[in-house]
Structure 1
Amino acid sequence: MLIDEISQFSLFEGRVQVRQGSILIRADRVEVREDSEGFQHLTAFGKPASFRQRYEGTEEYAEGYGERIEYDTRAETADLFERARVKRGNDEVRGARITYSTRTEVFEARGDAARPDQASGRVRAVLQPKPKIAPDAVSPLPIQPSESLSPTSPTTP
């Protein structure tokens, strides 16, 4: 571990875990630089390094993996490089580079034809359809008498 207060640089090696709110980054090596306004830029290296964020108000997580992850607290983004992939539930996207916004929970994937590990240079995605609710799985609404209506007698012409 190296912490240089003057240059605002820190280096952590080993089984490193960095947590900020609902975000967790795990890596073999993490470099942290802090700018003059206090924002941090982390570069995590691993085989792979991982990134995880819990979605607001749910029990769901976004999980990302890459040989290198760059997390910028000012831009609120995580960039995953080299055999990058992001999973949410049963959905998964793979590409050479994936940019994930921790603020909007949206990600953008790019392929890279020049990479030998990206056979076609394409982004690959597996997206599962939402499960359909079976008709008999829906409970009928209970019928309740109205408290505000009064009975009326039938009218005769």
Structure 2
Amino acid sequence: MKSTKQTLLFLTLTLISVTTPLWALSTDKQKPVEVEADNFNLDDAKKITVYSGNVIITQGSMEIIADKVTIHGVRGTTDKVIAIGNPVKFKQQPDGNQGLIRGEANRFNYLVTKDTLVLLDDATLWQNGNTFASDRIEYDSKRSIVKAGDKKAGSKRVKVTLEPAKK
């Protein structure tokens, strides 16, 4: 019974942590997390949860669609989330008058303790007609810093398209 309670607690903490909003409506984190997938595997000993096959994760305005999502836990909390797809897609509505944020890449790495999302391999972010594209886009939500490209990895050039302000 204790093992079942620990497993359920780990699963609940995993789901809450995986959906910590980076650019979210402030009310998103109070909404329920819903996960759909063709397959689910929880390895309690290794603290790894894997959802695979048409994975859809939603919480409030946030939605992630991937082929596979792997969640790594450390001491009862989520440490890292890896989403893989062709491509992985996400969207989320931020607070205020900002437009919907959409993104896609073949791989998303979310480093929970650093509040950092890394989009890898053919990554693109869109908001309000503005586009950021590169092989690597990193968003540090603690410091509100976006970086794109990676000279060390021989990344393609960064392409940014900014729409003029409307009068």
TM-score, normalized by the shorter chain, greater than 0.5: yes
Mapped to 2, the partners of 1:113 and 1:106 lie a distance apart of 19
Indicate yes or no: 2:165 matched with 1:126.
no
Aligned pairs (5 A) from 1:1-12: 1-12=40-51
Instruction: Indicate the residue corresponding to 2:117 in structure 1.
Output: 78
Amino acid at match of 1:87: W
Query: Mapping of 1:6-155 within 5 angstroms?
Result: 6-19=45-58, 22-36=61-75, 38-58=77-97, 60-103=99-142, 106-110=145-149, 121-132=156-167
Instruction: State whether residues 41 and 72 of structure 1, in contact with CA within 8 Å, keep that contact through their aligned partners in structure 2.
Output: yes
Q: 1:54–1:101: structure 2 CA closer, same or farther, 3 Å change rule?
A: farther
Question: Higher helix share goes to which structure?
Answer: 2
Inter-CA distance 109–127: structure 2 relative to 1 (3 Å threshold): same
Does structure 2 retain, via aligned residues, the 8 Å contact 1:23–1:52? yes
Structure 2 gaps, min length 5: 1-39
Q: Secondary structure at the match of 1:131?
A: coil
What amino acid maps onto 1:64 in structure 2?
G
In the alignment of these two chains, the number of paired residues is 128
What is the TM-score of this pair, normalised by structure 1? 0.70
**Structure 1: any 5+ residue segments left out of the alignment?**
133-157
Post-superposition offset of 1:19:
3.6
The alignment yields a C-alpha RMSD, in angstroms, of: 2.4
- Counterpart amino acid of residue 122 in structure 1: R
Q: Which residue of 2 aligns with 1:147?
A: none
The structure having more radius of gyration, on CA atoms, is 1
Could you tell me whether the CA contact under 8 Å between 1:95 and 1:122 is conserved in 2? yes
**Identity among equivalent pairs (%):** 25
The alignment's TM-score, normalised by the length of structure 2, stands at: 0.66
